[in-house]
Amino acid sequence: MSRLATTGEVLQLIRSGEALTRADIGRVTGLSRPAVALRVSELLGRGLIVEDAEGPSTGGRPPVRLRFNAAGGVVPVASLGASRTQIAICDLAGDVLLRTDLDIDVEEGPDVVLPLLMDTWEKLLDGQAPVVGVGLGVPATVEFAAGRTESARVMASWTGVVIPPIIAERFPVRVLVDNDVNVIAMGEHRVVYASELDDLLFVKISTRIGAGVISGGSILRGALGAAGEIGHIPVRDGGGVLCRCGNLDCVDSVASGTAILRDLRAKGREVLTMADVTALVRAGDAETMAVVRQAGRWLGEVISGAVNLLNPAVVVLGGDIAEMFQPLVSGVREVIYQRSTQLATRSLRIERSTLGPGAGLTGCALMVLDHVLSADAVDAAGG
């Protein structure tokens, strides 16, 4: 390094595995032995690293290995959906330690939903290691820097709510809030794809439709956090369906789970939930399969534009609808390869989510950990 490495930078070396012993730290950073000892002692004292088994000896006393301490703190996280919420406690590696799922209608508003979340976290924590940060994904546009939700025409009771200060009253740590699909995209990319590609488009197809964009290895939020709002892009020949946002034929209004149920009921099918639709698809009901496949084609129409614009290496389809229905996925594939440019689709992969519903929890934890365990944050916390 061209300058003296800080304690936070030493932690990054240990977390990445680039330096496993004090000697490794000295070799990589050029720090003197006393300087290495000082930084390692600070990290040990803060519980961020532990001394592990002795490493291989090259002569003389074997060196003591240093290991990042994932058990040194916890991160309460939650991924809110339109009707169902996943709540968990994660360790400092982003792994889920405890989890519970609750049926919560987000339309009840932050005055109901946020206290319920915090009560659930406190029950799950019950004496766990110290809380280092809190992460939350919400089904709304989020001005990330402020943690402010902006959903004037969709989730009216959440409009303009700055969430971090509300949570920080009970959990006085760094609180980060992002759009629900952004955190899912972060989790899916980091765990499944980060070692092989940097550009990914995650599309969540559930009660509602949204997207998260990973560009150059990082989440793309746009100027104010509105990137990825593909649910409100109109499709051709949608039939003039009025969307929640006030426009006509948004893909959310013609291809979401809500839209599929509505269209099947209009055709005389007795479907109360998507499980009923699944049963009809498995039974080979031709009309149901046609509705589902058409929803996939409308989705493909919108996603093909995103593929031309962003040129991702992989399009990942997630959410309960994508996980249930192969006809929908087939419809998406069909239109993307028809309408996207040849170069954009030359090596494009279209895949279902690998992590499934847990991706949002992982993404929330990683979002927080990237901030609170950054070299600058670690140095600032150490005074």
Residue that the structure tokens 């206290």 belong to: 115
Distance separating alpha carbons of residues 201 and 213, to the nearest angstrom: 5
pLDDT of res. 45: 93
Average pLDDT over residues 261-288: 90
Using 50, 70 and 90 to split pLDDT, how confident is the model at 278? confident
Q: What is the pLDDT of residue 59?
A: 55
Gap between the Cα atoms of 231 and 242, Å rounded:
13
Residues 211, 201: contact at Cβ < 8 Å?
A: yes
pLDDT tens digits, 155-192: 778 889 999 999 999 999 999 999 999 999 999 999 99
pLDDT tier for residue 367 given thresholds of 50, 70 and 90: very high
**Strands 96-103 and 84-91, bridge-based pairing:** antiparallel
Question: Rounded mean pLDDT of 299-307?
Answer: 96
State the average pLDDT for the chain: 90
With contact defined as beta carbons under 8 Å apart, do 200 and 364 qualify? no
**pLDDT at 257 > cutoff 50:** yes
Task: Report d(CA 127, CA 44) in Å as an integer.
Answer: 21
- Pick the more confident residue, 294 or 327: 294
Q: Is the dihedral of CA 199, 339, 221, 203 positive or negative?
A: negative
Read off the pLDDT band of 2 (50, 70, 90).
very low
pLDDT band for 42, please (50, 70, 90 cuts).
very high
The residue type of 233 is: I
Is it the case that residue 208 has pLDDT exceeding 90? no
Query: With bands split at pLDDT 50, 70 and 90, how would you rate the model's confidence at 273?
Result: confident
For the ranges 16-30, 46-60, 235-249, 314-328, the lowest mean pLDDT is seen at 46-60
Residues facing residue 98 across a β-bridge = 89
pLDDT digit string, tens, across residues 314-358: 999 998 887 777 788 888 999 999 999 999 999 999 999 999 888
Give residue-wise pLDDT tens across range 27-39.
999 999 999 999 9
Residue 274: the pLDDT is: 86
Please report the pLDDT score of residue 260 as a whole number: 93
Query: pLDDT tens for residues 214-241?
Result: 999 999 999 888 899 899 999 998 889 9
* DSSP secondary structure code for residue 108 in this structure: G
pTM of structure:
0.90
> CA 59 to CA 48: how far, in whole Å?
29
Give the pair of three-digit tokens for residue 93: 């590696």
